[in-house]
Amino acid sequence: MTDASATAARRPGEQALAALGLGAPTLDPADASAHSFPGGGRWRTEIPSCEGPEALAVVLKESSRLDVPIHRISQGSGVWMLTDAEITEMVEATNERDIELCLFTGPRGTWDIGASVRSDSRGGGLRARGHDAVAGCVEDAVRATELGVRCLLVADEGVLWTLHRAREAGIIPAETTLKVSALVGPVNPASYAVIERLGADSINVPSDLTLDHLTEIRRVSAAPMDMYIEAPDDLGGYVRMYEVAELIRRGAPLYLKFGLSKAPGIYPYGTHLRDLTLDTARERVRRGRLALDLLARHGAEDGMAPLGSRLPGPLHRFPATA
């Protein structure tokens, strides 16, 4: 499935339910996303929470063993939790496989002294509080890109806009892509369009959005969307395996993000969490295999974007002026 006019995938249980008189209504062609990745393809894959060179090695080994294609590998603890040597090792390993490496920028939310984010209302959310927090994110971005990283993960709208302006000004490489974290999570087409215009190249939406919500977003924006097919518990723990084909039909261009529910948090990572981190890294790849097997059974596996592709295509931006 490489464009919106392609035949829709078979839906789960379709033939058996139809034989029992319980067939689902016909899919509405108007619900399908009209967008694809540049160069073709409707979906890419992402393995998140790969917290260092050792976890990366596990992911790469397991992806080869299980034949799980990977477009992007992302990390959640932050650039500041990695040494230069560790970042360089991760850059070299992903470059060898033509996989995009995405590292998180700077201080945010619960790693700050602010108490409001720990209140029942969650206060300002997991954003960068004050000038110094923004500066830390920029410091991380400059350091990471100087070491060869070409994708940065952002959890604050102001940091996003600042880094977009930085790449426009040549402070970080122009080919750097900016990925917006699930911690920001726009939930309507208006906010999604604003995030795109602030400089986002892919945007992680919450995994509890309905199929209709995805269609609404796609009617206003072609910016690539990231979605946890299985979300960590602190992001809801939602498991949407059986909806993968329809999520692609509605949300393309879409990164299928293979998270893991019922797993303890590992941010910020350290060797005290080594065994857990390696075990969960391995299981995320296996979850990817399960999702891809479902796509194959439903006839939707042909829509994958070429491996090695990473750019988002033309997007709408606010003028990057001072």
Residue 252 sits in a domain whose CATH number is: 3.20.20.70
The pLDDT, as a whole number, for residue 29 is: 87
Please report whether residue 190 resides in a domain: yes
Residue 180 lies in a domain: yes
130 within a domain of the structure (yes/no): yes
CA distance 215 to 202: 16
pLDDT for 125: 62
Nearest to 33 by CA among 241, 247, 208: 247
In a domain, 20, yes or no: no
The number of angstroms, rounded, from the C-alpha of 243 to the middle of its chain's C-alpha atoms is: 17
Exposure of 183 by Cβ count < 10 A (0-12 exposed, 13-18 middle, 19+ buried)?
buried
In a domain, 322, yes or no: no
pLDDT value of position 233: 85
Would 11 be classed as within a structural domain? Answer: no
pLDDT tens for each residue of the chain, 322 residues long: 334 444 578 888 888 888 888 788 888 888 999 999 998 999 999 999 999 999 999 999 999 999 999 999 999 999 999 999 999 999 999 999 999 999 999 877 666 676 566 655 455 567 888 899 999 999 999 999 999 999 999 999 999 999 999 999 999 999 999 999 988 889 999 999 999 999 999 999 999 999 999 999 999 999 999 999 999 988 888 899 999 999 999 999 999 999 999 988 888 888 998 999 999 999 999 999 999 999 998 887 789 999 999 999 999 999 987 5
What residues make up the domain containing 190?
48-303
Do 186 and 203 meet the contact criterion of CB atoms below 8 Å apart? yes
What's the DSSP call for residue 183?
T
Phi, psi of 262 (to 5 degrees): 55, 40
Does residue 5 belong to any structural domain of this protein?
no
- Under 8 Å between Cβ of 298 and 10: yes
Whether cis (ω within 30° of 0) applies to the bond prior to 29 is no
- Please check whether residue 285 is in contact with residue 47, taking contact to mean a CB–CB distance below 8 angstroms: yes
* Alpha helical stretches, state H, the chain: 14-19, 53-66, 84-97, 130-146, 157-168, 189-197, 211-218, 244-251, 274-297
Overall number of domains in the chain:
1
pLDDT at position 33? 95
Q: Residue 310 domain-assigned?
A: no
CA angle 20, 22, 23 (to 5 degrees): 110
Between CA 48 and CA 277 the distance in angstroms is 11
Q: Which among 165, 202, 207 has a CA at the least distance from the CA of 181?
A: 202
Question: How far is residue 178's CA from residue 222's CA, in Å, rounded to a whole number?
Answer: 15
DSSP string, 56-121: HHHHHHHHHHHT---SEEE-SS-GGGS-HHHHHHHHHHHHHHT-EEEEE-S--GGGSS-SGGGSTT
